[in-house]
Chain A
Amino acid sequence: MNEQLTKYLMMLGDNAMILGHRLSELCGHGPSLETDIALTNISLDLYGQVRSYFQYAAELGGEEVSEDTIAFLRKERTYLNVVLVEQPNEDFGHVIVRQFLYDMFQSFMTPALMNSADERIAAIAAKSIKETRYHLRFSTSWMKRLGAGTEESKARIQAAVNHLLPFADEFFVMTAIEKEMYEEGIGPDLQTFKEDFYSKVKEVLIEAELSMPESAPRVVKGKTGIHSEHMGYILNELQYMQRTYPQMEW
């Protein structure tokens, strides 16, 4: 049971960490100081959540396990984030759509986790609910701004939606770990909010004067540790110091 719970915590933390990593790549390179500050804020919030989940996972592990060994010293196949969050910062439109889809999912996931039978998870979720709502407000407002802004922004954000929305389906595929967590009352049945997720997404797209792509969901299995080719390069950077200088205090 502990082993499955640990994996579940990694799954929750890995999503936040890899998305936080992508956002942190942008720090100092965004379209305006204001967006730089806002996206860095979101990245900081996500990394705060990562620490909460991994510290908990570290307590369940042995003496030699720490939040940092969990974050930095695993093999790629044991990272359990969805493939969506690995997708690169192609342009600001991709950054916003990736964020929007993640935030929208979290707007269902976080309240569900607040009811978790696991008190620690419930507490972490309760602590992050305000952040989740703020992130969704931010990304939604940019969806609208870019959708209804100029011809160019509309074309770019629509292209990003077309490219990224098919990755969202992975959120709702129940892996063995998630099924077990659901049975234990620790995690939600993801299928229950799938429909609401898509109708909310559609609502925003309509308001943003964008259209919902018809394309079929992508066959991706990040939650079982099968990632995109981007992941290896992310881990290269993420793990660089810990791999080059093993077992040191920083």
Chain B
Amino acid sequence: MDNIENLSARFQERIDAGEKIEPKDWMPEKYRKTHIRQISQHAHSEIVGMLPEGNWITRAPSLKRKLGLLAKVQDEAGHGLYLYSAAETLGISRDEMTQQLLTGKAKYSSIFNYPTLTWADIGAIGWLVDGAAIINQVMLTRTSFGPYARAMVRICKEESFHQRQGYEIMLTLCNGTPEQKEMAQDALNRTWWPSLMMFGPRDEDSPNTKQSMAWKIKRKTNDELRQQFVDITVPQAEFLGLKMPDPEIKWNEERGHYDFGAIDWDEFWQVVKGNGPCNKERIAARQKAWDDGQWVRDAALAYSEKRSNCGERSEGIKVQRSKGKIA
């Protein structure tokens, strides 16, 4: 029987060789815990992220936009499902993860603690928030944990669709009336800085980065990813004819990147700590959905137990999701 050190060394060798780690493989406890934390956090972000966008479904300005937004928010629910399932392979249940979200033990992306105030916010979220998410997630398609990497491959395709849809909303607004363009500019102004914060603290304030890189959970640092996002987004804003809400944004020939201004890290940490504009409301909404749904989940469980006791095939509460339809 190998001792822990040998197992750890071999585990690291496998990762270095680019092998995928599967749920049944031996893994260091910290690797497991880190993944549960990260994947569930990601799942929670998908689910809480449904709220700010859901806020505009009933008020979408056209039938086409309403369908687009409904489908997008539904996709996010699907992403949440895949991710919860990926985390479940590591020995935690979806209900436990939900409780961690509701009690504040588990975090979710802070961007969703900002309010959606106009229709243009729906465009800005698709363009910037899904855009930032893609940069992170493309990296994660090559992460060492197999179920997470595979979930990311599926999810990334849909996220790029969301990003294009959001950009197209912005483009339509920018080609519209002055009032519409102003709405688009205001949404960019409010969404820009929180989007940059999505990549997390500066590298020097991110103590976990080194271990995450060694385990190939991360392949680029927060600051590298943030720079990549700025470099992609600035020309897109120019194409829209919008002004970046940061006077320090300037192409740096020498670096081959855009320079940009300082992020308000006080605000970042305040929102992380729960003091953002909508933190309380987001959790309250999830708590209400959970409480109001309790009798429904109880009934479904009781029903399927009764049915299986009768020897009948249980239909179960879980429904499989496939290409926009459920069976």
Q: Known interface pairs A32-B317, A36-B77, A37-B74. Does A27 touch B326 (Cβ–Cβ under 8 Å)? A: no
- Determine the chain A residues whose CB is within 8 A of the CB of B73 once the complex forms: 27-28, 40
Q: A27 CA to B67 CA in the complex, in Å?
A: 13
B170 to chain A, nearest CB (A): 12
Residue from B63, B173, B294, B306 with most neighbouring chain A CB atoms (10 Å) = B63
A242 at the interface (CB under 8 A from B): yes
Q: A72 CA to B61 CA in the complex, in Å?
A: 9
Contact A241 B293 (CB under 8 A): no
B103 at the interface (CB under 8 A from A): no
Q: Known interface pairs A32-B296, A149-B300. Does A240 touch B59 (Cβ–Cβ under 8 Å)? A: yes
B280 at the interface (CB under 8 A from A): no
Using an 8 Å CB-CB cutoff, how does the interface string of A1-32 with B read, 1 for contact, 0 for none?
00000000000000000000100110111111
Residue from B73, B78, B319 with most neighbouring chain A CB atoms (10 Å) = B319
B77's contact among A21, A33, A48, A249, by CB below 8 Å, is which?
A33
- Determine the chain B residues whose CB is within 8 A of the CB of A27 once the complex forms: 50, 54, 57, 70, 73-74
Q: Known interface pairs A28-B77, A37-B78, A156-B295. Does A150 touch B70 (Cβ–Cβ under 8 Å)? A: no
Contact B50 A28 (CB under 8 A): yes
B44 to chain A, nearest CB (A): 12
Contact B319 A38 (CB under 8 A): yes
Q: A97 CA to B296 CA in the complex, in Å?
A: 14
Contact A149 B70 (CB under 8 A): no
9-residue interface stretch from B175-183, B199-207, B211-219: B175-183
A229 at the interface (CB under 8 A from B): no
Q: A41 CA to B292 CA in the complex, in Å?
A: 21
B7 at the interface (CB under 8 A from A): no
- Determine the chain B residues whose CB is within 8 A of the CB of A219 once the complex forms: none
Q: A153 CA to B71 CA in the complex, in Å?
A: 30
Using an 8 Å CB-CB cutoff, how does the interface string of A190-223 with B read, 1 for contact, 0 for none?
0000000000000000000000000000000000
How many of chain A's residues touch chain B, expressed as a range?
Answer: 35 or more
Chain B: residues with Cβ within 8 Å of the partner, total of 56
A141 at the interface (CB under 8 A from B): yes
Q: A57 CA to B289 CA in the complex, in Å?
A: 38
- Determine the chain B residues whose CB is within 8 A of the CB of A179 once the complex forms: none
Contact B77 A150 (CB under 8 A): no
Q: Known interface pairs A47-B66, A51-B63, A145-B303. Does A41 touch B324 (Cβ–Cβ under 8 Å)? A: yes
Chain B minimum-CB-distance residue to A43: B70
B318 at the interface (CB under 8 A from A): yes
A41's contact among B169, B302, B326, by CB below 8 Å, is which?
B326
- Determine the chain B residues whose CB is within 8 A of the CB of A31 once the complex forms: 289, 292-294, 296-297
B36 at the interface (CB under 8 A from A): no
A44's contact among B58, B61, B65, B67, by CB below 8 Å, is which?
B67
Using an 8 Å CB-CB cutoff, how does the interface string of B174-200 with A read, 1 for contact, 0 for none?
011101100000000000000000000
Using an 8 Å CB-CB cutoff, how does the interface string of B265-303 with A read, 1 for contact, 0 for none?
000000000000000000001001100111111111011
A219 to chain B, nearest CB (A): 29
Using an 8 Å CB-CB cutoff, how does the interface string of A221-250 with B read, 1 for contact, 0 for none?
000000000000000011011100100111
Contact B61 A41 (CB under 8 A): no
- Determine the chain B residues whose CB is within 8 A of the CB of A63 once the complex forms: none
Contact B63 A29 (CB under 8 A): no
Q: Known interface pairs A37-B81, A37-B326, A47-B70. Does A149 touch B299 (Cβ–Cβ under 8 Å)? A: yes
- Determine the chain A residues whose CB is within 8 A of the CB of B54 once the complex forms: 27-29
- Determine the chain B residues whose CB is within 8 A of the CB of A64 once the complex forms: none
B67's contact among A47, A148, A248, by CB below 8 Å, is which?
A47
Q: Known interface pairs A31-B296, A38-B326. Does A24 touch B57 (Cβ–Cβ under 8 Å)? A: yes
- Determine the chain B residues whose CB is within 8 A of the CB of A51 once the complex forms: 63-64, 67
B157 at the interface (CB under 8 A from A): no
Contact A150 B74 (CB under 8 A): no
B295's contact among A43, A47, A50, A152, by CB below 8 Å, is which?
A152
- Determine the chain B residues whose CB is within 8 A of the CB of A91 once the complex forms: 292
Interface residues of B, Cβ cutoff 8 Å to A: 47, 50-51, 54, 57-67, 70-71, 73-74, 77-78, 80-81, 84, 119, 169, 172-173, 175-177, 179-180, 285, 288-289, 292-300, 302-303, 306, 315, 317-319, 321, 324-326
With A40-B74, A51-B63, A250-B65 already in contact, 8 other A-B pairs whose C-beta atoms are closer than 8 Å:
A28-B50, A33-B47, A44-B324, A47-B66, A92-B296, A144-B303, A153-B295, A248-B179
Q: Which 5 A-B pairs have the closest CB atoms?
A: A31-B293, A149-B299, A153-B299, A241-B61, A28-B50
Selected A-B contacts with CB under 8 Å, 19 pairs: A24-B70, A28-B54, A29-B54, A29-B285, A31-B292, A34-B317, A34-B321, A35-B293, A37-B319, A40-B70, A44-B70, A50-B63, A92-B295, A145-B303, A148-B306, A149-B298, A245-B179, A249-B172, A250-B173
